[in-house]
Amino acid sequence: MTGEKGQAGRPQNGRGEGAGGPEEAFSPQDVETIEDRSRLRAPMIYEVVRREGEEEMYRPAVSLWWSGVAAGLSISFSLLTEAMLQLYLPHAPWRQLVVSLGYPVGFLMVVLARQQLFTENTITAVLPLAAGFTAGNLGLLGRMWGIVFAANMAGALISAAFYTFTPALTPDLRAQMLDISRHMMQNGWSAMFFKGIAAGFLIAAMVWLIPNAEAAQFHVITLMTYLISLGGFTHVVAGSVEAFLLLVNGQLGLWHLLYGFTAPVLLGNVVGGTALFAVISYAQIMKEM
């Protein structure tokens, strides 16, 4: 009876997890496949993002600068693609759903080319600081943020000047770009700030998702940035292309650009990407590291 009871009590779940354990059910090749297809645990994702941020913090200033300028130029294609779609689509209730599909274009160029975008750095460069809060790390973070932000702004301004003063665009297409830009600037200071928090959080979430995305990186970047456009959220670099475009076309004053757009959106992006997402991401794994 004892033997029968032991036989009956053995788990029969079809995976061979009896007395011999799962190793009897899977070959070494199967185990390797399972490990390859397992999702990264949160501490592992944290470490991937932290190491990437640490590497970027130690890059030469000239490398950060030109990578940041390239990002400012590339991100302008978000506005350009949206304007193209808006120009050729009919006025309909679903129009904005399609126009917003143009917004991820610039972000895809920046992220997949590994160019320096300020809002990405609000999480990647902050994680090393969270792990070791020292004066040295704080200085490296300030250095990186300062160089990349200035470079992004330079690239955005160059893009706006190019679209305005060269015959690269048709008048109709330029008019659509200005129309989209004017729509963004209708937000007040507080709206710019709080919408900036949402955008900063979404960009930080994108950075956190990419290590697990593998071949789906294109879709992750597209989805997160599409939500920014569709929700009318504000991104300090992509939005600067729009603000600078209005500036160089005489439709926006410098003070309004700096105080009404740059200051609240920059602050909102940093709060959303750093104070909320980066800190929460570190808090959830700090006892596991």
Average pLDDT over residues 224-239: 97
The answer to whether the beta carbons of residues 283 and 37 sit under 8 Å apart is no
**What confidence tens digit (pLDDT) does each residue in 195-213 have?**
999 999 999 889 888 888 7
148 HSE (CA, 13 A, CB side): 28
The structure's pTM equals 0.82
The answer to whether the beta carbons of residues 74 and 66 sit under 8 Å apart is no
Query: Can you say whether residue 114 is alpha, beta or left, with left for phi > 0 and alpha for psi between -120 and 50 degrees?
Result: left
Residue 42 has pLDDT above 60, yes or no: yes
Burial (0-12, 13-18, 19+ Cβ within 10 Å), 53: buried
Q: Give a yes or no: residue 289 inside a domain.
A: no
> Could you write out the three-class secondary structure of 205-246?
HHHHHHHHHHHHHHHHHHHHHHHHHHCCCCCHHHHHHHHHHH
Q: Give a yes or no: residue 28 inside a domain.
A: no
**What confidence tens digit (pLDDT) does each residue in 247-281 have?**
999 999 999 999 999 999 999 999 988 877 666 66
Q: How confident is residue 223, by pLDDT bands cut at 50, 70 and 90?
A: very high
**What confidence tens digit (pLDDT) does each residue in 55-110 have?**
888 889 999 999 999 999 999 999 999 999 999 999 999 999 999 999 999 999 99
Residue 244 sits in a domain whose CATH number is 1.20.1080.10
Q: What is the pLDDT of residue 194?
A: 97
Average pLDDT over residues 230-234: 96
Q: What is the pLDDT of residue 57?
A: 81
Average pLDDT over residues 226-245: 97
Domain count, the chain: 1
Percent of the residues in the chain that have a pLDDT greater than 70, as a whole number:
79
Q: CA-CA distance, 101 to 176, in Å (whole number)?
A: 16
Residue 17 has pLDDT above 70, yes or no: no
Q: What is the pLDDT of residue 11?
A: 46
Q: Give a yes or no: residue 12 inside a domain.
A: no
The answer to whether the beta carbons of residues 233 and 198 sit under 8 Å apart is yes
Q: How confident is residue 53, by pLDDT bands cut at 50, 70 and 90?
A: confident
> Sign of dihedral through CA atoms 105, 269, 118, 179?
positive
Residue 3 has pLDDT above 50, yes or no: no
Residue 285 has pLDDT above 70, yes or no: no
Range of the domain at 70: 41-283
Q: What is the pLDDT of residue 52?
A: 77
Average pLDDT, the chain: 85
The answer to whether the beta carbons of residues 78 and 102 sit under 8 Å apart is yes
Q: What is the pLDDT of residue 259?
A: 96
Q: What is the pLDDT of residue 133?
A: 79
Q: Give a yes or no: residue 117 inside a domain.
A: yes
Residue 12 has pLDDT above 50, yes or no: no
Q: Give a yes or no: residue 9 inside a domain.
A: no
Q: Give a yes or no: residue 4 inside a domain.
A: no
The answer to whether the beta carbons of residues 220 and 108 sit under 8 Å apart is no
Q: What is the pLDDT of residue 9?
A: 47
Q: Give a yes or no: residue 121 inside a domain.
A: yes
Q: CA-CA distance, 27 to 121, in Å (whole number)?
A: 43
Q: Give a yes or no: residue 190 inside a domain.
A: yes
